[in-house]
Amino acid sequence: MQRDKMNAKLEMQWFTSRSGSSPLRMTRDNHVEVLQDNEQAFGRITEAIRNATSSIYLMQYEFHQGFITTFDSWPTGNSGAPKPRDVLVDLLRDKAERDGVRTCILLNENLLAPDTMGQIHEVFYGTSVLLRGFPEHGPRVMHAKTLTVDGVEAYIIGSIFRQDFWDSSEHPVRDPRRGLETASPKHDVSLCVRGGAVKHIEEFFIQLWNYLSDAQFGGNDRLEPSPPPPAAGTHIVHIARSVTPRTLTKRGERGILAGYRAAIRRAKDFIYLENQYFTNEVIVAELRHALRRHRELQLILVINQTPNVPLYQQLQNKSLKRLGLDVTRQFIDRPRIGVFTLWAADHTAEKSELQPCYIHSKVGIIDDEWMTIGSANLDDASLSGQEKLIPFFYSREQLSMELNAMLLDPTSSHSEIGRFRQALWSEHFGNIQLKRSADGWLAQWKRAAEANADAINTQNHQAIQGRVFPYSTDIRVQDAHRELRGFVQWARLGLRGSRSK
């Protein structure tokens, strides 16, 4: 009994900061499976929907009507294209109409940002599929992306349902399965969960659905929770949320931010953050304090060179300055901080091509003991509210709806979290299994990034290994996609420390 209390106290310390007031939705009977990239994630989602027998609850930010989740075999020869196998709207309609599975879809609907509510409403109009838009009125969105099936299996989905987000772990520069030949490679991570945590993932969907029932539909079509799911394993999982104030509760929730803060404060060896954005000042402050507290602590950041929000590149570089980085020099020179980005390279006998591999994942790993995967970016909209918008829009209330799973494995020297990290890094490094050296993990990241930078600058393009490159503040959008043949201006990217003119 005493040991159980000590373990519970330790788990609480990893998941919640002193300032965190959100509920701790923690279960210890889970099985989790990390799904790297969307060929795997979309395939598993399709399989789960096809096997559903009682309920399908889907929450998405963006859902395009022609979205294809799976394809038949890759065509042979130099012509042709993969044949679509599953179109998601058709599969969902069939499950509701033919099989009688209760199918409810909650879709972001926004007055400022574009949404896909209109086209999806048209597709499902007159069918048994229940569709609702979750209306947002400011610079915030319903950004959480989840699927729960039959109350026993849940998916925390990384990507929106748009064709150009389809990608494999190989990340070829060109892939017709992305819909457009010009669509860039995209890296993402999703999570499949079975066990007690499914209840808390489904709970978020049901709370948002019933909130709309009461506010807009006269209490009609309210949902009841599924029976408690059976135990499926031994993984410790906390479901953390960001909730817009004055919706489900008056104050909302900032549980994801609290979870990040608590975990960063306990870090001693390394912090690995792989995220679409890196602009939140609270996270930056916590990282700065952690690096000061522990002289051996290393920070590895994998972020986009050019975020898809125009102002974010400037804000991102300010965040790096607050960490003590001189943004006019190579970050690769820093002994305890490494900032990297991902590029995809294709080589043929005729030419070589390089294109940014857009990072859409939201992954955090600390000391191989704590991990998070979910929908929340490391920006204000996902974590703390749009404080920078003062005096507009009541900034503290401009917090998006988000959901992350936080996993804990604090006792094992060969943890499941460590195995996932190795699998993820192996993809980034070109299927090389890294071994920790005496000077920690960061040195290997720097050596790989430097080697790829040298391969570019010496035009030895065949020597590029994996996708890891140094981050540079000087990248220009027009440089984002070029053929490497005869190209020597890559020094402009800061890969050798030079400044763009």
How confident is the model over 20-39, as a mean pLDDT? 91
494 pLDDT exceeds 70? no
Higher pLDDT, 113 or 247: 247
* Mean confidence (pLDDT) of the chain: 87
- At 347, the pLDDT band (50, 70, 90 cuts) reads confident
pLDDT of residue 23: 83
pLDDT of residue 334: 75
Tell me the β-bridge partners of 366: 271, 370
Name the residue type at position 63: F
387 pLDDT exceeds 80? no
Higher pLDDT, 340 or 11: 340
- At 142, the pLDDT band (50, 70, 90 cuts) reads very high
Give the model confidence (pLDDT) of 146-175 as tens digits.
Answer: 999 999 999 999 999 999 999 999 999 999
% of the chain with per-residue pLDDT over 70: 84
Residue written as token pair 């125009």: 310
Q: Which of 20-24, 25-29, 402-406 has the lowest mean pLDDT?
A: 20-24
User: Is the N-terminal amide bond of 391 cis, ω within 30° of 0?
Assistant: yes
User: Is the N-terminal amide bond of 84 cis, ω within 30° of 0?
Assistant: no
80 pLDDT exceeds 70? no
pLDDT of residue 498: 33
Give the model confidence (pLDDT) of 92-109 as tens digits.
Answer: 999 999 999 999 999 999
Name the token pair of 127. Answer: 């069918």
- At 438, the pLDDT band (50, 70, 90 cuts) reads confident
Q: With 0-12 CB in 10 A as exposed, 13-18 as middle and 19+ as buried, what is 412?
A: exposed
5 pLDDT exceeds 60? no
% of the chain with per-residue pLDDT over 90: 68
pLDDT of residue 352: 78
Taking a C-beta distance cutoff of 8 angstroms, is the pair 359, 342 a contact?
yes
| Length of the chain (residues) | 501
pLDDT of residue 493: 43
